[in-house]
Amino acid sequence: MSVVYALATPAHKSAICIFRVTGNGCLKSLKSLFGTSDISSRVFSVRPFYNSGLLVDTVGVLVFDGSKSYTGEDSFEIHAHGGLGVMALIEEALSGIGFDEAPPGEFTKRAFLNGKIDLNEAESVLDVIDSTNTEDVYLSSKSLSGDFSREVHELSDDINSLRMRVEGEIDFSDEEEDFMDEDIVSDVSVLISKFDLFLSGCKNRKNLSAKNKVVFIGPTNSGKSSTFNRLLGFERALISDTPGTTRDIIESEVFYESFSFSLFDTAGLRETSDTIEAKGIDLTKNEIVNADVVVGVFDPSSLSRLEEFSSLVGEKPFLKVLNKIDVDDSEVASFDCRISAKTGEGFEDFKEQITAFFKTSLQKDATFLVRDRHISLFNNSISSIKKALTIIQSGDGLEVAAEELKIARSCLDVVVGKKTSDQLLGDIFSSFCIGK
């Protein structure tokens, strides 16, 4: 495989940027890049970095020989100041040497291909990166540490042991004496129970870890966009006293406690003859359908429309917010919280109430987070085991039972990557970010 490089940190101005390089033979470039090849492995060394003979930056260098690197190949990292000009010159130097820019997931893919991690552990790397709350982190890290793979390997070994016992019965089937292993039926049943228990702790990541989508709706001029901006901590949505200012969907992300939320500001709902504004209102109604939580923002002048909006939201979780209490602080029933987007009053309670909708997560019952492909393979595996049990109980067709157990084992081999296709690997690693 060729030598590849990638910027492993965001391509934005920052304190530090990190470039990663991997591929056998890459350490030969140390001399031209840093003026010396005498850089100790796994020791953070400070070196001048040159491009075309000119000093670019004083950088940190980490060198890893293939036996101790993430990828299983000779590798090194460059830790430089995070200026865009510095990044451009480092990239120019690396490509000038003849290194190729790494595609998404290339480093983790090489770690898998070189036997440093199995396929599930590779996927778990992405899961940790994509985690949006603390439960996600802990569950993903369990898989990354190998706990999930060990469970799968144990099930695989149990299946294989039973298959060999069944094949032993086939070998003795022509003998005059009956050598039937009386414990096979009960042991297969025990395996099924063990598999079922394992599956009960496997929760589909797609269902548990999607971004928490919070959609803001409300009458025009109720302070919906101001509330949206206050939650973000900066002015993301345009604010105006003119009704109908917000016409498109504005999305941004906010972190609170251990949760990540995708916030969507929408057009205020009213009757209008403005074609563009009407399209914005239609988009708002569509966003309500896809929301996890709908936040309705009202002010004292729009209280009469609360029932109208509640009917529009339907069965969706609906957090009803009364804004502008700095202007009118009279108590009003039917609202979940009272805020002032202008002063910030009530916002801590407001954020707590949004978070509360997502705290009753199914993850509390989860042992491992898995993907669609895992669920499909597990279902196929246990189905084959149950077919084998039925055949063994009948006392006939043991060759078919052995084949079903072989299929069950093969499904688990695909889970951990003992058997893979180029298409599968392409699908998995294409979803990774650059530099990982």
Work out the pLDDT band at 242, boundaries 50, 70, 90: very low
Query: Quick one: 224 and 349 in the same domain?
Result: yes
Angle between the N-to-C axes of helices 106-113 and 422-429, in degrees from 0 to 180, rounded to the nearest 10 = 140
Work out the pLDDT band at 330, boundaries 50, 70, 90: confident
Q: To 10 degrees, the CA torsion angle through 203, 208, 209, 214? A: 180
Which are the contacts of 252, defined by CB distance < 8 A and separation ≥ 6?
228, 232, 236, 262, 263
Residue ending a domain, choose from 325, 356, 387: 356
Give percent of the chain above pLDDT 70.
86
Which are the contacts of 308, defined by CB distance < 8 A and separation ≥ 6?
none
Query: Quick one: 135 and 99 in the same domain?
Result: no
**428 or 69: which leads in pLDDT:** 69
CA–CA–CA angle 368, 373, 377 (5° rounding): 90
How are beta strands 75-82 and 54-64 bridged, if at all?
A: antiparallel
**Cα 170–chain centre separation:** 47
Query: Is pLDDT at 137 greater than 50 in this prediction?
Result: yes
361 in a structural domain? no
Query: Quick one: 129 and 55 in the same domain?
Result: no
Q: Which residues pair with 93 in a beta bridge?
A: none
The C-alpha atoms of residue 384 and residue 342 are separated, in whole angstroms, by 63
427 in a structural domain? no
Q: Which residues pair with 17 in a beta bridge?
A: 80
300 and 326 in contact (C-beta within 8 Å)?
Answer: no
Work out the pLDDT band at 162, boundaries 50, 70, 90: very high
Count of domains in the chain?
3
CATH label of the domain that carries residue 172? 1.20.120.430
Angle between the N-to-C axes of helices 422-429 and 119-130, in degrees from 0 to 180, rounded to the nearest 10 = 20
Query: Quick one: 125 and 109 in the same domain?
Result: no
103 in a structural domain? yes
Region 84-88: what's the mean pLDDT?
A: 95
Query: Quick one: 246 and 299 in the same domain?
Result: yes
Query: Quick one: 127 and 167 in the same domain?
Result: yes
The C-alpha atoms of residue 245 and residue 185 are separated, in whole angstroms, by 71
Helix (H) or strand (E) holding 380, with range, is helix 372-394
CA neighbor of 429 nearest in space, from 137, 117, 138? 117
Query: Quick one: 287 and 326 in the same domain?
Result: yes
CA neighbor of 222 nearest in space, from 277, 272, 273, 265? 265
CATH label of the domain that carries residue 219? 3.40.50.300
Region 208-229: what's the mean pLDDT?
A: 80
282 and 270 in contact (C-beta within 8 Å)?
Answer: no
Q: What is the domain extent for residue 323?
A: 212-356
